Amino acid sequence: MDAKELIARRVAQEVKAGTLVNLGIGLPSLVANYVPADRGVFFQAENGVIGLGARPPEGMEDDHLTDAGGGFVTAVPGAASIDSAMSFGLIRGGHLDMTVLGGLQVDESGHLANWKVPGKMVPGMGGAMDLVTGAARVIVAMQHAAKGQSKIVPVCTLPLTALRRVDLVVTDLAVIEPTGVGLVLRERAPGISVETIRAATEATLVIPDTVPEMILT
């Protein structure tokens, strides 16, 4: 199992039945592949659909039905199309049960930076700031390190996405829960030791007596 699939499978376990969920583009969008259809989850794409479905069959794509990354999608039975004010009303107004976003850095306060690398990458925040501010639950799905550098840091050096403490961080090495007393190591990836995680993490982790392995179904 590659790192992205491992992360997506673990995050999928956090998706509760009957909820409204927004998945960011890239790695987070893979989560939908591991959420069973009978869980009754509606996925929102912030460009304007509740009830996002999988890619349409080859040759059946329609220009009027895309996800927030501009990719062709379908809509599931019961879907609704909405304008951007309604879409962000859902997000900011506390109607969105969960969002899964990628990250550049998460720090010991649980702050997320994921929209800008000054001088290098200035794409704009899109919907990320509203999502982190407004969603009932925020999960960060990202690789533990990039180019050998830990993405879990004492204090974010990149511009913050919001002041809100994110609820869970799932990486290819670990599941980490930001809390009032710091970053608590909740689970290890299969075959990964606590020591390996500690060595790969620039931030200080709170390590409970037992840290179980992720159970990936």
Partner 1 sequence: MKGLKPEAAAELIGEGASLMIGGFMAVGSPHRMIDAIVARGVGGLTVIANDTAMPGRGIGKLISAGLVRHVIASHIGLNPETQAKMIAGEITCDLVPQGTLIERIRAGGMGLGGILTPTGLGTEVEDGKQVIEVEGRRYLLETPLKADFALIGAWQADYIGNLSYMLTAHNFNPIIALAGRTVIAEAENIVPVGVIAPDAVKTPGVLVDHLLIRAS
CB of 97 to partner 1, least distance (A): 17
26 vs 212 by CB, closer to partner 1: 26
Distance of CA 95 to the CA centre of its chain: 17
Using the CB atoms, write b or e for 140-160: b if 16+ within 10 Å. Answer: bbbebbeeeebbbbeebebeb
Query: Is residue 68 a contact residue for partner 1 (CB under 8 A)?
Result: yes
* Span of 118-126, 139-147, 189-197, 201-209 interacting with partner 1 by CB under 8 A: 118-126
Give, in order, the Cα–Cα distances in Å from 62 to each of 22, 56, 65, 77, 126: 21, 9, 6, 17, 23
Residue 108 a catalytic site member: no
Residue 171, Cβ density class (10 Å: 0-12 exposed, 13-18 middle, ≥19 buried): buried
Q: Which listed residue (5, 34, 56, 88) binds partner 1 by CB under 8 A?
A: 88
Query: Is residue 108 a contact residue for partner 1 (CB under 8 A)?
Result: no
* Span of 7-15, 137-145, 154-162, 196-204 interacting with partner 1 by CB under 8 A: 154-162
Largest Cα–Cα distance of the chain, in whole Å?
54
Q: Reduce the DSSP state of residue 113 to 3 states and report it.
A: strand
Query: Is residue 77 a contact residue for partner 1 (CB under 8 A)?
Result: no
CB of 110 to partner 1, least distance (A): 13
Q: Which listed residue (160, 169, 189, 192) binds partner 1 by CB under 8 A?
A: 160
| Pairing relationship of beta strands 168-170 and 174-179 according to DSSP bridges | antiparallel
Alpha carbons 37 and 148: distance in angstroms, whole number: 37
3 vs 75 by CB, closer to partner 1: 75
123 vs 148 by CB, closer to partner 1: 123
CB of 160 to partner 1, least distance (A): 5
Task: Check residue 147 and report its DSSP letter.
Answer: T
Q: Which of 14, 46, 108, 187 is catalytic?
A: 46
Q: Which listed residue (14, 46, 107, 187) binds partner 1 by CB under 8 A?
A: 46
Sheet holding 174-179, edge to edge: 74-81, 49-53, 42-45, 20-23, 98-101, 138-141, 168-170, 174-179, 182-188, 205-206
Looking only at residues 120 through 139 of this chain, which bind partner 1 when binding is defined by CB under 8 A?
A: 121-130, 133-134
Q: Which residues does the annotation mark as catalytic?
A: 46
The site for partner 1 (CB under 8 A) is made up of 45-49, 62-70, 75, 81-85, 88, 91-92, 116, 121-130, 133-134, 159-163
